[in-house]
Structure 1
Amino acid sequence: MSEQAYTPAPAADFVLPFDVVGAGIRGRLVRLDGVSARALRAHALSEPAARTAGEMLALAALLGTALKLDGRLTAQTKSDGPLDLVAADYYGAEDGKLKGVRGFARLDETRPAPAAPSFAALVGAGSLAITIEPRRGGQTNQGIVALSSKGLAASAETYFQQSEQLPTLVRLAAAPVYTPGKPEPAWRAGGLMLQVTPETPQSNEDWERLAALAKTVEDIELVDIGLPAETLLWRLFNEEEVRVLPAEPIAFRCDCDGERIAAVLRSYSEEERAGLADPDGVLRARCEFCGRVHEIEKGRITNGE
């Protein structure tokens, strides 16, 4: 590890950028604890489904920070399996708010549950879409790749190969944490990304060596908040000079807003709105991401207030 002074990364809820000096290789390590627990507690998911949703949170954090995005990045799967939709949003830092993520997953209960809880059986065939929306104008960009039966990490590697044409390695993990007296677990998530820099020749022997080392990381190491991030990087690359950059804090963020919901409801017909309203004239809409219930008075919609 480089001897350059730096502040050690926190135990969790961060992305830690690093690069391998002289090799033209950069990387990022993400660990989520409170953030992933908050994001997933709003959803009633089976353990295999929650694991995939946790990995998607880690992936969104890796992608969003790697692209230095100031707007929003959405990573989303659509598929024909029981877990037919998994999504995570990453938000860049803005107006005093930390960088943040939120997530959502949907189980189609009309489809039979798989006998084996593998990613391929749970998700099935489909696509992974990465959508980038700049905050201050600019064009929205989207890349779509076929889902790999090997999982989200392999699908993300294909995305980078097609979009940036840069050799990229991605590892993702999520694990439940059980607490005595609580029936439902909290979830942790983690990930590692290694990538060749754009100016590095494609025939890079350093890449082959370092990618092989990165592939030895174990799932438990990615989610173990008791294992310092710097120690994990040393385990993986102890014969290399790794320069660790300042950790980037990640928070749970959801931009659901009552006015936005009201704006959507204004596009409904009066009959449709009447069917959604309670006897007291209040429409209640639950955010699929954070679980917050927004109460919208009917008059606020009809009057456009």
Structure 2
Amino acid sequence: MDESLKAPAGWRFAAYPWWAMDELPELPKLVRVGAVLLPEFFHLVIAPEGAWRTLRDGSEDVFGRSGPVLFLNFQVFEGDLMMNEARTAYEDVGVVLEKVRKVAKPQKWKVLGIHYMTQYLVQFMEEGGRPEQDHMRAGHDWAALEPSDPYGHRPKAALEWLDQLQSQASEAYATARDAPSPRRKRVRITDDFLRQVAKVYRIAENSGAPPTREVANHFKAPHSTAAKWVASARRKKMLPPAGVSAGGYGDPHAERRLELEWILKDSHEDLSPHKRRELEMELQSLGGEIPGRDD
């Protein structure tokens, strides 16, 4: 952890997925902000240790019982995180801001919000729901579960959080695992390669699998790289525009062309010269190009 993000002695920082000092709502949606997932609204607490109180369930709450307590409300708008409100308990906001700015500089509040909210989400995933540190975990979306039943009967919002967080973690792991090293040979983006990308994409879409993810898995590439290849295939008219099904793309011969390309290029079938030439001629008659030839 970056030492500059730690609370100084005698203070504590924490983030929670709801507006500060409000009734507990349903869990907000998780949205992507840059490379991370965040709730579409949440708040950061900056308070002295003496302001925290232990509740009956063993969790802790903070509500300005001792010292300056600052609640900072954040909201994601058009893909960017904004701080839209500062609130305090019992003391005037100007007085609290003056005291807190000596503990955590205002230019770091947004970074602190992202950091501590991300920590909360990691714990949410690890504990299968609201973490023990969350004093609202006794609410309707928390249940005492058997270890063998980590999902239990959680409401839809909590299940969606777990699915999104686990998906993001898997994607990040795959990206890190498959990221090319400086010594790894780069893929040459030829028309033949993009036709292979388009083929994998179409087959995945026809089978109901996430097509860009399947392209990434097939070529053992990061998801972001696969997305660039798919975009290049679209520009070359090998795939339809985004939002249009790639299945047939208005072409009744698309499936047969894919099948022929697979037989000639990827099936490793031992074809006689006569049979290969026959299939190549059929492919060309359907408007396809013989794999491996760009002329």
TM-score by length of 2: 0.25
The structure with more helix, counted as a fraction of residues: 2
The structure with more strand, counted as a fraction of residues: 1
Find the structure with the greater CA-based Rg. 2
Higher relative contact order (CA 8 A, sep 6+): 1
TM-score by length of 1: 0.24
